[in-house]
Every structure is written in C-alpha cells, then in structure tokens.
Amino acid sequence: MFFIYLDEFGHIGPYFHRRHEKYNESPVFGLAGIILPEPAIRPFATAFLQLKQALFIQEIMAAKVIAQKWEKKGTDIFRPKAIARYQNLRSGGFRLINQISKVGGHIFYHGREKIFCQKDGHSNGLYTTIFAAAIRRLDEFCTLKNENFVLVVDEHSARKELLECAAKTMFGNQPARRLVSPPFQVESYLNQNIQAADWIASIVGKLWAHEILPDQYEDHVQFRQYYWDRLHKIATYSTVIKRKQNNKQLELPHKQPRVEK
C-alpha cells in the first residue's frame, strides 16, 4: 500500500501579471507531494525531522518548542534570493529529494495553467477539478503497481467539497478503485510527511511558474537548474496542463518594481 501526501502549489486565485498590484501570485495551480510505500512512512518522517533540525536548529530553539511541533513552510524556504545565497538551503532540497528516492518513494504533481486576467474564476471548482484528476492519475499509478493507496492532505477550508469530490471520484462512472478511503486531513505542524510534501510543492510551483512565464519569472531559472532534473528523475504520472490557446498577458510599464515571490 502507498501513502500519498499532497499539498497545494502555485495559487488558487486570479493571475494578471507578476508585477500587478494585486493579482500577482502564480500563473499555475495544482497539487504536489510524495508517494511513500507503507513501510517507509515512519523512517521517512524521522529522516525529514532530522533534516529540518539540521537546517533550522537555531530557529527551532528560538521558538522554544520541540522540533516535532515546529514547522517552516516551503514558500519561506525556497525563495529565489535565499536559494541563490544559501548553499545549505539548496542542498536541503537535494537531500529531501534523495531521501524520497532512498525509501522507494516518488514525487507526484498535477496542475493547470490558469486563465490570465480573469477575476471571476471559481476557485473551489478549479481545486476540485484538479483534485479529482490527481486522484485518477494516482489510481492509474497504483493500478500499474497492483497496490492500493491512502491519500493525506493538509487541512482545507473547503473540506466538505473536497470530501464530496473524492467520494464521487471513488464511486463514480469510472471509479478510482485503488483509493481505499476518503482523504485524511491532518494538521501540518504535527505531521512531518505533509510538511515534506509542502516543501516539494513549493519547489514544483517555482519550477512551473518559470516554465509557463519565463520572462516574468526569470529569477526562477535557478530552480530549473538545481531541481528540474533531480525532481523529475523520481516523479511519476506528473504534469501541469498548459492552455491550448495563448493566454492574454497584461502589459505593464517596465518602470514598476519587481516583487519577489
């Protein structure tokens, strides 16, 4: 049996331009994380906890909490300037990917390029569409491996909609037969493996922001340099769906300051 931990990458809301005053978060949205065989769940959690302590022991000590209850979000770690400046942060990402591979795990992601310059998008609809598609792709992977899977996700405000979406996908016209139960939602600060999924999701979001809009995210090219090949060596059934027709991009004056995301 596989346990699969997923978190969001990109941003669910509207996107106009990276330098837009309000709608500037990400041109993509999706779910990403890690696939772990059941015997690896506890060893991997222990290894991730040790990695977290090695990277952030001073911050953990300053917070005056035990490391098992301390969390640092991937978006606060994997930032362009920090990755360029701090070799230990870059290598932390390498070590995480290597550890997933070492225990026989995989990286998984599924997402979409968003429609640009559209305010009235249905965010829950986008989330459930991607969620259902991700479950189906994971079901295909597990069918190939002749294994069942359990899905673990971070707590979400649209909990009811997501559970309903999972139930429809499990028992609908083309049922996801390998998913043994509706997804479990967990508190991320208490679950090391969902924190690891969050770190992976952050890297995936940076990679695909650059892949979709390299001119706007030229400072993300280093993520491609450092992580694209490493990540995709152990990624499976993973994709971001690009729009078939060109998105309309908002042109902004060059004099506006850039904002690092």
Asked, for residue 248, whether it belongs to a domain, the answer is no
- For residue 255, what pLDDT is reported? 47
Q: How many structural domains are present in the chain?
A: 1
Asked, for residue 91, whether it belongs to a domain, the answer is yes
pTM over 0.85: yes
Asked, for residue 63, whether it belongs to a domain, the answer is yes
Asked, for residue 96, whether it belongs to a domain, the answer is yes
- For residue 251, what pLDDT is reported? 65
Which of 16-20, 52-56, 147-151, 174-178 has the lowest average pLDDT?
A: 174-178
Above 90 in pLDDT, residue 165?
Answer: no
Asked, for residue 253, whether it belongs to a domain, the answer is no
Give how far Cα 26 sits from Cα of 10, 170, 184, Å: 5, 30, 27
pLDDT level of residue 246 (50, 70, 90 thresholds) = low
Residue 102: both structure tokens together: 């070492």
pLDDT level of residue 78 (50, 70, 90 thresholds) = very high
Asked, for residue 43, whether it belongs to a domain, the answer is yes
- For residue 135, what pLDDT is reported? 94
pLDDT level of residue 200 (50, 70, 90 thresholds) = very high
pLDDT tens for 221-235 read: 999 999 999 999 999
Above 90 in pLDDT, residue 257?
Answer: no
pLDDT level of residue 164 (50, 70, 90 thresholds) = confident
Angle (nearest 5°) at CA 58 between 193 and 202 = 40
Q: What is the dihedral of CA 188, 158, 136, 111, to 10 degrees?
A: -80
pLDDT tens for 92-112 read: 999 999 999 999 999 999 999
Contact assessment for residue 82 and residue 203, using Cβ atoms and an 8 Å cutoff: no
pLDDT tens for 124-142 read: 788 889 999 999 999 999 9
What's the average model confidence in pLDDT over 185-205?
A: 95
CATH of the domain at 42: 3.30.420.10
Above 80 in pLDDT, residue 220?
Answer: yes
- For residue 49, what pLDDT is reported? 97
Domain interval for residue 57: 2-241
Asked, for residue 98, whether it belongs to a domain, the answer is yes
What's the average model confidence in pLDDT over 12-28?
A: 93
Question: How many CA atoms does the CB half-sphere of 90 hold within 13 Å?
Answer: 16
Above 60 in pLDDT, residue 7?
Answer: yes
- For residue 167, what pLDDT is reported? 83
Average pLDDT, the chain: 91
Contact assessment for residue 209 and residue 75, using Cβ atoms and an 8 Å cutoff: no
Asked, for residue 151, whether it belongs to a domain, the answer is yes
